[in-house]
Structure 1
Amino acid sequence: MDSAQITISIILLCTVLLFLWGRWRHDMVAAAALLACVITGLVPADSAFDGISHPAVISVACVLILSKGLQNSGAVDVLTRLCLPSNAGPTLSIAALTALGAFLSAFMNNVGALALLMPVAMQMARRQQIPTGKVLMPLSFGTILGGMTTLIGTPPNLIVSGFRQANGDGNFSMFDFTPVGLAVAGVGVAFVALIGWRLVPGRKQAGADSFDSGAYITEARVPEGSKAVGMTLHDIELALTEADAQVLGLVRNEVRVTPPSPRRRTRAGDILMLEAEAETLSSALSSLGLKLEEAKATRDEREKQEKEKEKEKEKEKQAKEKANEQNGKVPAAKAQASKAQEPADIASVAKADTDSAKAESSADSSADNDEIILSELVVLPSSSLLGRTAAGIQIRTSFGVNLLAISRQGNRSVKRLRAQPFRAGDLLMVQGGPEAISEFASSTGCVPLAERELRIPNKRMAVMATIIMGVSVAIAALGILPTAVAFAAGVLASMIVRTVPPRAVYNAVDWPVIILLGALIPVAQAMESSGTAGLIANVLLNQLAQGHAVVALVLILVVTMNLSDLMNNAATAAVMCPIAIGTANQLGVNVDPFLMAVAVGASCAFLTPIGHQNNTLILGPGGFKFGDYWRLGLPLDLLVILVTIPMLLWVWPL
């Protein structure tokens, strides 16, 4: 070994050890490795950051943004209702949910697919009366398996494609991963759903009680064209059963009907008072095409409020003028001007409704131009809201915030939202711009709850997000444009039609992953250019594989799988790709099966909760311990090896 090979080997060893140690974040470790290579001269300083502009890195960032559009718009809700059985046993229900998760993760970020379906999994566990973890772990593994079926399914596939191009063989196409990936995912999902979920330890959900905010009472309007038009309230109750929602009351022409007759049929424009959990509210609304009703004051209420304000202003003005006249400080000209202004003040009272409408229009315009979010706020005992109503404080016109729902644990009220006096401990679901919500919270004495995903379905946005993703995939698959360019165009389209608001685009990107990839790509290239990758491959061949190509292929797959269980899957792919290429070159065989083995192995993080973000996400909700994953993960790993090697040899001959 020469000095360059010794240096890069030491840097690589330290990098892997730091990854395993876990004290530093992955992107910090990768950046340190890159800087070490630059300082030692292994990577030229002027090309140190070329990895950030690598097509694989750009593609990963763009796919994350497009996935966010699908996630926020509620595009998956319709698919969930169509694909998941409503009346089935645990095995069929888990099989359908896991298969849906695998399908979604083939075209969107794996973490996004899991995040979308986690609330559904928890509902399913409660309905089937089985531990939550027995549904969450199969779902997590299913989304990981589904990612290996397409080029954009997971970052390791994009990295592998990038190394193939750097090797002079061109990129893998969108569905080059599908034959092997689909076979592995299909067998894996079938095993997990039919047998594997029974191997998952049944533990109590960690911290379940502490995060239960109770059901929200909200108002949903029945718009024209909604499925609910003409349905009886009894039928609506049955349709909402899957979302664990129920009808508490009906409002028609501003008249509340409580309790309504189950035989009463709804009309367009009716308002249903619903009770639902925050996580299932989206499903409850989208199942019948309902829309949340904003808690805003009526015209009469606004006129009364405006007149009261004008009277208070007039009294204050008269008192001030009287005090000034007594002090001899008001000139005659100013007094005349004050009198001349009185008609204008009277006219302003008559224009109260117009001004209020303009204020609402302004708030709507502001909402259109800014990012709109949903937030949960808790009313503190010292809040200025206590005893007041949404109509009374003019929450929409004064703050630019919409009150969508109220949760009051232990108490159920069927009053209109705008007429419910706020109490200490109430949970408010509000909608508006981040700054508007922050100002409302600080000025009224409310504090936000821990952030969680709340989605209100938007049919138009869901359709647009789906079209944009589909067109981007088609353009990349047909080779009309390079993958990175196709998805960058999709991101631009998403920003234009606002399926992902422009100000939220950068928040949708997992920047630690982007920095990790951008930093490790030059390091991996240094491994290859210094001959270190070929040296490691030679050791593997001579000491373990004994020159047998199939044995070497199995070794590459197994080593990659084990590394992926302990370190980030993208980092694993970046480290193993040069070794796989070097091994194939040493043997004089086709490079593609070895790169595909890296792609499959990097996606098989089933033994620990730290190998993949999805496994980490279910750790708390499933009540798992570190050692619980191998019980399902180990047999699944063995099954993956048994399926992958024959498929690789058949689809990508040596």
Structure 2
Amino acid sequence: MTFEQGLIFAILIASMGLFIWGRWRHDVVALGALLACVIVGIVPDRDAFAGFGHPAVITVACVLVLSHGLQRTGAVNRLAQRLLPSGAGALVSIAALTSLGALLSAFMNNVGALALLMPIALQISARLELPPGRVLMPLAFGTILGGMTTLIGTPPNLIVSSFRAQHGGGPFEMFDFSPVGVAVALAGVLFISLLGWRLVPKREVGNAASFDTGHYLTEARVKAGGSAEGKTLREIEQLLDEADAQVVAMVRNKLRLTAPNPRRVLQADDVLVIEADPAELGEVLGKLDLLLEAEREAREAEQQNDKNSDTEKKASNDEERAMQELLVKPDSSLIGRSASSTRLRSRYSINLLAISRQSHRSIKRLRSTLIQGGDVLLMQGSAEDIGEFASDYDCVPLAARAINIPDPRQANLALGIMILAIVAAAFGLLPTAIAFACGVLAYMLLRLVPLRAVYESIDWPVIVLLGALIPVAGAMSTTGAADLLARVLMENLAQGNAIITLTLLLVVTMTLSDFMNNAATAAVMCPIALSAASQLGVSPDALLMAVAIGASCSFLTPIGHQNNTLILSPGGFRFGDYWRLGLPLEILVVLVSIPLLLWVWPL
């Protein structure tokens, strides 16, 4: 091993460890890896940011904008309305929903496809009286499977295509992934629909409106003269036990007390941080005669406004206010911000009543708690105001909603432009990046997507991740590190057998993608696949396709793919719930894809 190979291995191992740890965002880790390679001299200065002009990066950005246009104009809702059965049983409903998710994610961002169909999935679970998780996990896995079927279905496919082009084979075309990808997706959807959904852990819920999103953390103030004043925390907790709730902290005189002494006597204006099931939240507050802190502050603000101004206030009547659960998407701009920093009341006239976080429990003040991806927020306000907030911050409303089309003409126009871009790329009329860039330009000129929304619809962390990792992956080839890893893989495990090497590449890629970002996984594994093909003296196409399939199969954990994270709280899932359906699904993917890869892409 040379010194340069040791350096690139050290940077890659550190980066993979940080990816898996998840403490820092993927784009931050990728940018750090790139700069480390530049500083130690592995990546030349002039090539440091070449990845940001790469066709794969441009294509991903354009597809994100086009996907947003399809959502905004209602084209996807129109398709869902026509294709989804309204009164079918569990098997047909889950099969139709999962198939539609796979179909949409073949041509648009799969996170967007899941977000659009998630409220429909919750309606289906309520109608069939199924736990929401048994509909949400099949839908999430279906959208992941659909991404592997086309060039634009998922970023790993574009990365794989770019590596093939760099090594003289030319890029993969739009539907080169389809023969194997469609067969694997069909097998996966059939398995999920016929049997797999029954393997999803059953998380019972009281009713569809209060599905198990985990326990909420909310703040309530002790009223002067209320029944809670003068009681000890122990007495309060005994009453809370009946509703499966507990006090996890309290605030007195702006001092937060973690795990307060049970003998402490409550005083007026003490604030209790209560953890409770959403179905029991109202009962808990009523039983103890407590006032929601958000409600109290809102009333004070309204009273102050009454003194200072006679202007009409939005949603001033209680009858106009409703409660709505919003799911924070993994790429939401709300992540890392708090209720106070987003000016919920002054800008949107809404209140944050509680936060549900499945994987961690926060006991900070509610308004100062930093929001994370996958959190479920219990908001109060008018439907219009909550909808505006959800749109601005990319949150998914978790409630039944009608399927509507803002403008049928715009929906047809957006769909037509998307189809033309796909046709132009598929038949080689234009390079893929150029074809989809033309589609974005058409969207902008026809105002299908407002100019401001064009840049807001791009998932910039993904763009930075791809732009930073492409030069790092290139350094694996130039330093010989990829050749070294491929030689170790073949000599020690595959024993020089091409079929075993192919299988190992698929399994290793699949395993890494369960813990790392799938684009990062593809960027790391593509140089190894190319080196393995060179040393075996075989065509690299099958090995690259194995990397593409493996990078698109993140089914074992909630952190491997954004769609898995998105259903964590609404489904009431735990970290270990995913493998029960995910493991047999990944085994099926291996069994189906290896023979097809050898047949479609002979070694």
Distance in 1 of aligned mates of 2:54 and 2:426: 19
Question: Displacement of 1:380 after TM fit?
Answer: 3.6
Contact preservation (8 Å) 1:106, 1:146: yes
Q: Of residues 213, 227, 242 in structure 2, which corresponds to 1:207?
A: 213
Q: CA deviation at 1:207?
A: 3.5
In 1, Cα distance between equivalents of 2:558 and 2:349: 39
Return the offset for 1:458: 2.2
Q: CA-to-partner distance for each residue in 1:526-572, whole Å, 9 max, x for gaps?
A: 00011110110000010000000000000000000000001000000
Contact 1:147–1:154 under 8 Å retained in 2: yes
Per the TM alignment, residue 206 of structure 1 is displaced from its structure 2 partner at its CA by: 3.5
Which residue of the other structure, out of 577, 582, 600, is the alignment partner of 1:651?
600
* 2:456 partner SS: helix
Q: Distance in 1 between matches of 2:477 and 2:74?
A: 44
* Equivalent residue number for residue 418 of structure 2: 469
Q: 2:584 maps to what in 1?
A: 635
Distance 1:69 1:453, change over 3 A: farther
Q: Does 1:510 align with 2:414?
A: no
Aligned: 1:423 with 2:336? no
Shift, 1:443, TM fit: 8.2
Indicate if the aligned counterparts of 2:405 and 2:411 stay in contact, CA closer than 8 A: no
For residue 213 of structure 2, what is the amino acid of its counterpart? Answer: G
The question of whether the paired residues in 2 share the 8 Å contact of 1:608 and 1:630 is answered with yes
Pick which of 63-72 and 614-623 moved more.
63-72
Provide closer, same or farther for how the CA distance between residues 629 and 439 of structure 1 changes in structure 2, counting only shifts above 3 A. Answer: closer
Report the residue type matching 1:506 in the other structure. Answer: Y
Residue 618 of structure 1, aligned match among 564, 567, 571 = 567
Q: CA deviation at 1:46?
A: 1.4
Cα 1:77–1:548 change in 2 (3 A) is: same
1:595 alignment counterpart: 544
Q: Is 1:37 aligned to residue 31 of structure 2? A: no
Cα drift, residue 422 of structure 1: 3.0
Q: Provide, for residues 6-56 of structure 1, a one-character-per-residue CA deviation record: whole Å limited to 9, x for no partner.
A: 111111111111111111111111111101110111101111000011000
Q: State how 1:383-532 maps to structure 2 within 5 Å.
A: 422-423=317-318, 426-427=321-322, 442=346, 449=386, 451=390, 452-453=395-396, 457-532=406-481
Shift of 1:86: 1.4
> Which stretch shifts more, 486-495 or 146-155?
486-495
- Post-superposition Cα deviations, 1:238-274, rounded to whole Å, max 9, x if no partner, equal xxxxxxxxxxxxxxxxxxxxxxxxxxxxxxxxxxxxx
Partner of 2:163: 163
Whether 1:186 and 2:186 are equivalent positions in the alignment is: yes
| Cα contact 1:49–1:518 (8 A) shared by 2 | yes
Determine if contact 1:465/1:499 at 8 Å carries over to the other structure.
yes
The alignment status of 1:544 with 2:448, answered yes or no, reads no
For 1:199-223, what per-residue CA distance to the aligned partner results, in whole angstroms no more than 9, with x for missing partners?
Answer: 0011144438969xxxxxxxxxxxx
Q: Is the aligned partner of 1:381 residue 2:387?
A: no
SS of the residue aligned with 2:590?
helix
> How big is the shift at 1:76?
1.4
Shift of 1:78: 1.7
Equivalents in 2 of 1:578, 1:94: separation in Å? 38
Which TM-score applies when normalising by structure 1?
0.66
Which blocks of at least 5 consecutive residues in structure 2 are unaligned? 206-210, 218-294, 325-341, 352-384, 398-403
Asked if structure 2 preserves the Cα contact closer than 8 Å seen for 1:581 and 1:591, the reply is yes
Q: What SS does the corresponding residue of 2:87 show, helix, strand or coil?
A: coil
Post-superposition Cα deviations, 1:270-300, rounded to whole Å, max 9, x if no partner, equal xxxxxxxxxxxxxxxxxxxxxxxxxxxxxxx
Query: Aligned partner of 2:202: which letter?
Result: G
Q: 1:179 to 1:394 in 2, by over 3 A?
A: same
CA distance in 1, matches of 2:159, 2:593: 19
CA contact (8 A) 2:57 2:467 kept: yes
Aligned equivalent of 1:567? 516
Where 1:207 maps in the other structure, the secondary structure is coil
Q: Provide the C-alpha distance between the structure 1 equivalents of 2:461 and 2:159, rounded to a whole number of angstroms.
A: 16
Aligned-partner residue type, residue 587 of structure 2: L
Q: Is the 8 A contact 2:71 2:77 kept in 1?
A: no
Is 2:107 aligned against 1:107? yes
2:530 to 581, 594, 602: 581
**Partner deviation per Cα, 1:112-155 (whole Å, 9 max, x = no partner):** 10001000000000000000000000000000000000000000
Distance across 2 between alignment mates of 1:4 and 1:470: 46
1:282 aligned residue: none
C-alpha distance in structure 1 between counterparts of 2:517 and 2:58, whole Å: 18
Alignment check: 8 A CA contact 1:386 1:423 kept:
no
Identical-pair percentage = 60
The aligned amino acid for 1:165 is A
The ranges of structure 1 where at least 4 consecutive aligned residues each deviate by more than 6 angstroms after the TM superposition are 208-211, 385-388, 392-395, 438-441
Counterpart-to-counterpart distance in 1, 2:426 and 2:320: 52
- Tell me if structure 1 keeps the 8 A contact 2:31–2:468: yes
Could you tell me how far apart the structure 1 residues matched to 2:459 and 2:348 are? 34
Give matches, 1:88-237, under 5 Å: 88-203=88-203, 204=205, 205-207=211-213
Q: Check conservation: 1:150, 1:177, Cα contact below 8 A.
A: yes
Contact kept, 8 Å, 2:213 with 2:571, in 1: the verdict is no
Counterparts of 1:490 and 1:379, CA distance in 2: 47
Could you say what secondary structure the match of 1:85 adopts?
coil
Q: Are the aligned partners of 1:383 and 1:446 in contact in 2 as well (CA < 8 Å)?
A: no
Q: Distance in 1 between matches of 2:296 and 2:149?
A: 43
C-alpha contact 2:75 2:405 (8 A) present in aligned 1: no
**1:386–1:424 CA contact under 8 A, matched in 2:** no
CA contact (8 A) 2:568 2:574 kept: yes
Instruction: Give distance in 1, aligned partners of 2:495 and 2:599.
Output: 22
AA partner of residue 451 (structure 2): P
Deviation, structure 1 residue 460: 2.1
Aligned CA-pair RMSD? 2.7
- Amino acid paired to 2:430: L
CA contact 1:63–1:487 (8 Å) conserved in 2: yes
Q: Which has the larger radius of gyration?
A: 1
Unpaired runs of 5+ residues, structure 1, are 212-376, 396-402, 407-420, 430-437
Equivalent residues of 2:77, 2:405 under 8 A apart: no
Q: How do 1:285-434 and structure 2 match up within 5 A?
A: 380-382=298-300, 422-423=317-318, 426-427=321-322
Shifted more, 132-141 versus 479-488: the winner is: 479-488
User: Structure 1 residues 425, 387: CA separation in 2 closer, same or farther (over 3 Å shift)?
Assistant: farther
User: Aligned residue for 1:59?
Assistant: 59
In 1, the alpha carbon distance for the partners of 2:296 and 2:75 equals 29
Change (3 A) 1:555 1:208: closer
CA deviations 1:440-464 (Å, max 9, x no partner) are 9638965565633478632122112
Contact 1:381 1:424 in 2 (8 A): no
Q: Could you say which residue in structure 2 is the equivalent of 1:73?
A: 73
Q: Evaluate the alpha carbon distance shift between residue 163 and residue 207 of structure 1 in structure 2; reply closer, same or farther with a 3 A threshold.
A: same
For 2:303 and 2:102, locate their aligned partners in 1 and report how far apart those are by CA, in whole Å.
46
Contact 2:78 2:405 in 1 (8 A): no
Indicate if the aligned counterparts of 2:298 and 2:345 stay in contact, CA closer than 8 A: no
Evaluate the alpha carbon distance shift between residue 470 and residue 627 of structure 1 in structure 2; reply closer, same or farther with a 3 A threshold: same
Separation of aligned partners in 2, 1:462 and 1:424 = 34
Distance in 2 (CA, whole Å) between partners of 1:614 and 1:101 is 11
What's the counterpart of residue 331 of structure 2?
none
Letter in 1 for 2:495: Q
Structure 2 CA distance, aligned partners of 1:543 and 1:519? 32
